[in-house]
Structure 1
Amino acid sequence: MARKPVLAFAFVAPALLFLAATLAWPLVSAFILSLQNVRGIGTSGQWVGFENYRFILTYAAFWESAGLSLVWVLANAVVQTVLALAAALILHQKFPGVRVARTWIILTWIVPTVVVVMIWRWLFSTSGGMINPLLMQLGILDRPVGFFATPESAFATLVFINSWRWFPFIALMMLAGLSRIPTELYEAARIDGANAFKRFTRITWPLLAPTLTVLLIIGTLLSFNVFDIIWLMTQGGPAGGTRTLPILIYETAFRSYRMSEAATIAVLATILLMAFAVLATRSLARSGEER
């Protein structure tokens, strides 16, 4: 019995070494860089200790971006969960073409980001786009609006685009969770006279909760680190209204040429995400033990 843990560790050791080489070393390098005053790539700098951390923690732009990142994560979590749950419940039903629908829904997730940006930039354009004329025909708008004209509208539009990109993947994970729920429970509930709402609240939602928790953890980590869609659509504008922490890190490093300060922000963001991942994982493990 004593050999089993050693044997198990021997099997996972190559993967751990690979993770150490690809993750741990860059993090250590970023931390060392954050303790210096390096400005450009390849330049030397003096050792300043934790001076960069003291500056960043009193830097107004850092806290503004951190707040935007928090709102970004929460907004994406709500929109993606609602869209994914609705799609999963529909695809869980039996109707002609359901297998085709399950295959086609994943296409929005596998489309390259650049293509997604080009499509939605054209659709939301005030000159030639299709969204404004459609909303005007439906009577929702009386004149064209600029979806990227104000910080609030640009932020909301990006949340929609990012959620549209990612909700099919989450929907498929939810669909897998739904398929593990025994159909006998639904049949028994129907015999007892439970309507669709009660079947959802008493059976579907509680049994799907573990899957939703895992997806919440993964979705939070992925949403927090989204850079490509935001940068390609707005580059953090207008007026910094979409400048989340990844955008701030890029601007600090490659526009302001303050590599050490950018590394400091990256280290702080990493610590925040690691703390969230550890707490969420422990909470998930406790809930699993209680069940």
Structure 2
Amino acid sequence: MKNSTLAFVFVAPALLFLLAVLGWPLVQAILLSFQNVGVIGSEGRFVGLDNYAAVLGGAGFWRAFGRSIVWVVANALVQTVLALVTALILNQKFPGVRIARTWIILTWIVPTVVIVIIWRWLLSTSGGMINPLLVQAGVIDRPVGFFATREGAMTTLIMINSWRWFPFTALMMLAGLTRIPGDLYEAARIDGASALKRFTRITWPLLQPTLMVLTVVGTLLSFNVFDVIWLLAAGGPAQASQTLPVLIYETAFKGYRLSEAATISVITSIILMGFAFLATRAMLTNEAAR
């Protein structure tokens, strides 16, 4: 009991700070979702659950929700593959590995606006570097607009976002790899296990706790990505990249339906909190079973 009380005392300031920064705006959003406010600062009247009925009964929310699911799953797959390969390479001993481990995080710490400017230039149909390289390699016949089609825009955004975030995931995986005892690999080599067997029987099972944590954190972060999507494609073309965060922004500041945007925010928060709760319980259950 004494240790628990002491732990709570140390954690209390951070909890109070989070409650003030996140809790109060969330309460305001909930209250706003029961009104019919259109513009920030204007008065509204109580409408009950009308906003929730309108949002859940409309096709726009569900289409944006479906795009968000595609966005999260695709980012998770691409980032996991890139991060796992990178982590396995950085876990080896070779000249310059310390420098590589330090500079791999560069794409993650660079501001989003800088990332957007770089990729806009690289992917430009006039003056960009990617199109000429693809033409010279024979992959395409003429320059293409990466954001001109629905499928191309979403695919390009996923690759750019994954390129930015996979170094962070790779470092987390690398931390998990360094905790695996080297004696296990040495014993497996002595027994004649191939590299594939060592990966499937040692690396992958012992990396599961790290992967589960990254799944939860990565899903929450990816679901809430707004800046990259908006700055590069603004939810287009033809709403092809309009995920829930983009829909919330457009509803509030372009459609002037602030209460409806707050309603979508509350529903999104409930979905994410439910996912976090279920995923955390699954992690604890799996850890207890181990």
Q: Aligning the two structures, in what range does the TM-score lie when normalised by the shorter sequence?
A: over 0.9
The equivalent residue for 2:255 is 256
Amino acid paired to 2:111: P
Aligned 1:229-248 pairs, distance under 5 A: 229-248=228-247
Amino acid paired to 1:122: W
Q: What TM-score does the superposition give when structure 2 sets the normalisation length?
A: 0.98
CA distance in 2, matches of 1:119, 1:5: 49
Q: Which runs of 5 or more structure 2 residues have no equivalent in the other structure?
A: none
Offset from partner CA, 1:63-113 (integer Å, 9 cap, x none): 110000000000000000000001001111111111111111111111110
Deviation of 1:13 after TM superposition, in Å, equals: 2.3
Deviation of 1:25 after TM superposition, in Å, equals: 1.1
CA distance in 2, matches of 1:255, 1:263: 14
Deviation of 1:135 after TM superposition, in Å, equals: 1.4
CA distance in 2, matches of 1:165, 1:4: 41
CA distance in 2, matches of 1:6, 1:144: 64
CA distance in 1, matches of 2:4, 2:73: 40
The equivalent residue for 1:179 is 178
CA distance in 2, matches of 1:3, 1:209: 33
The equivalent residue for 1:7 is 6
CA distance in 1, matches of 2:289, 2:146: 47
Aligned 1:155-234 pairs, distance under 5 A: 155-234=154-233
Q: What TM-score does the superposition give when structure 1 sets the normalisation length?
A: 0.98
SS in structure 1 at match of 2:177: helix
Deviation of 1:7 after TM superposition, in Å, equals: 3.4
The equivalent residue for 2:63 is 64
Deviation of 1:9 after TM superposition, in Å, equals: 2.6
Matched, 1:130 2:129: yes
SS in structure 1 at match of 2:12: helix
The equivalent residue for 2:152 is 153
CA distance in 2, matches of 1:229, 1:17: 31
Deviation of 1:5 after TM superposition, in Å, equals: 3.1
CA distance in 1, matches of 2:185, 2:9: 45
CA distance in 1, matches of 2:13, 2:220: 25
The equivalent residue for 1:108 is 107
SS in structure 1 at match of 2:38: coil
Amino acid paired to 2:63: E
CA distance in 2, matches of 1:110, 1:68: 26
The equivalent residue for 1:265 is 264
The equivalent residue for 1:75 is 74
Amino acid paired to 1:219: G
Amino acid paired to 2:187: A
Deviation of 1:23 after TM superposition, in Å, equals: 1.3
Q: Which runs of 5 or more structure 1 residues have no equivalent in the other structure?
A: none
The equivalent residue for 1:99 is 98
Aligned 1:9-88 pairs, distance under 5 A: 9-88=8-87
CA distance in 2, matches of 1:223, 1:11: 30
SS in structure 2 at match of 1:129: coil
Offset from partner CA, 1:190-218 (integer Å, 9 cap, x none): 11111111110000000011001101100
